[in-house]
Structure 1
Amino acid sequence: GYALFYLKGVAPPEISTGDIYWGAFPFWRLMELGLIACIIWPQTILWLANTLVK
């Protein structure tokens, strides 16, 4: 979102917006995998929350 345009503003002119998108792509994939893991195994998150409350 906004970080893309900020990075485009501070990056050298030879760096394109597409380069910035592709640079961030692996991190988006990691976040998607984490979200999928949370959907498949929600008991892991609930276990941690219950442990912290005790």
Structure 2
Amino acid sequence: QITYIVVPLFMPFLAGYPEFSMVWIAILIAMNLQTSFLTPPFGWSLIFMKGVAPRGIKTTDIYKGAIPFVIIQLGALGLLVAFPQIALWLPEAIGW
């Protein structure tokens, strides 16, 4: 996957900036990957859904049904970018 290539390339640069928390970056990457599972053409969740759906359900129906969840996921990702403390309060509370 592209994640195995891109993350090791950019992590050393991001680690050099004290304003970027590595926990926050990891959460952003995880949220972004979770969003990718719901988007065509390589949305694994959509492919699995098609595999278990009844015969009358078309792939386009599954794609249309995933749209609200993708919007919610992108909204949550936007909130995490705008307000990093949403993702960092718990790690800070437990002493990370």
TM-score norm. by structure 2 comes to: 0.48
The Cα of 1:15 is off from its aligned counterpart by 0.7
Task: Provide the identity percentage.
Answer: 41
Which structure shows the higher helix fraction?
A: 1
| TM-score (norm: length of structure 1) | 0.75
- Say if 1:10 and 1:52 are closer, same or farther in 2 by CA, change over 3 A: same
Counting only pairs closer than 5 Å after superposition, residues 1-12 of structure 1 correspond to structure 2 as 1-12=43-54
Q: Which runs of 4+ in 1 moved over 2 A?
A: 43-48
User: What do residues 1-54 of structure 1 show as CA deviations (whole Å, max 9, x unaligned)?
Assistant: 222222212222221101001111111111111110011011232233211217
Residue equivalent to 2:68? 26
Aligned: 1:15 with 2:61? no
CA–CA distance in structure 1, aligned partners of residues 93 and 79 of structure 2: 19
SS in 1 for 2:55: coil
Indicate which of 45, 48, 53 corresponds to 2:90.
48
**Larger RCO (CA under 8 A, 6+ residues apart):** 2
Distance 1:14 1:33, change over 3 A: same
Secondary structure at the counterpart of residue 13 of structure 1: coil
Distance of aligned partners of 1:15 and 1:48 in 2 relative to their CA distance in 1, 3 Å threshold: same
Corresponding residue pairs, total:
54
